[in-house]
């Protein structure tokens, strides 16, 4: 019998590490799900490690991935909208220096 009144025989239980491997994420992601309320600890094993039902882990993964896809789609939509607004503009962000191309050109003109 696990603490919290649950029984090992009732369901498949996963530790934090097993949950991370089960859904293909990092252990810190599982702790983040717990902290944010996406995943509830449903028991403790004999060593005091947190245990989760495998179904709860799958639901947390689905919820967070769905939300991430929604945010990514929103970001892509905003980026597409802003690029349509600036057609022909060469304001491409320089990843190495973090400045836009126009600013770099302006800086070089000012220094000449």
Q: Provide CB contacts within 8 A for 4, sequence distance 6+.
A: 42, 43, 44
Residue 67 lies in a domain: yes
Domain hosting 96: range is 13-111
Q: Provide CB contacts within 8 A for 23, sequence distance 6+.
A: 57, 58, 60, 61
Q: Is pLDDT of 4 > 80?
A: no
CATH value at residue 42: 1.10.1660.10
As for how many domains the chain has, the answer is: 1
Instruction: Give the separation between CA 53 and CA 46, rounded to whole angstroms.
Output: 16
Q: Is pLDDT of 95 > 70?
A: no
The strand pair at 50-53 and 43-44 is best described as antiparallel
Residue 63 pLDDT grade (very low, low, confident, very high; cuts 50, 70, 90): confident
């Amino acid at each position: 019998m696990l603490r919290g009144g649950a029984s090992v025989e009732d369901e498949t239980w996963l530790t934090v590490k097993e949950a991370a491997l089960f859904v293909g994420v990092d252990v810190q992601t599982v702790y983040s799900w717990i902290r944010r309320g996406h995943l509830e600890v449903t028991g403790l094993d004999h060593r005091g490690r947190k245990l989760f039902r495998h179904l709860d882990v799958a639901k947390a993964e689905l919820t967070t991935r769905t939300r991430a896809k929604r945010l990514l789609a929103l970001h892509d939509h905003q980026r597409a909208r802003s690029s349509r607004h600036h057609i022909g503009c060469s304001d491409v962000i320089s990843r190495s220096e973090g400045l836009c191309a126009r600013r770099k050109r302006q800086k070089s003109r000012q220094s000449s």
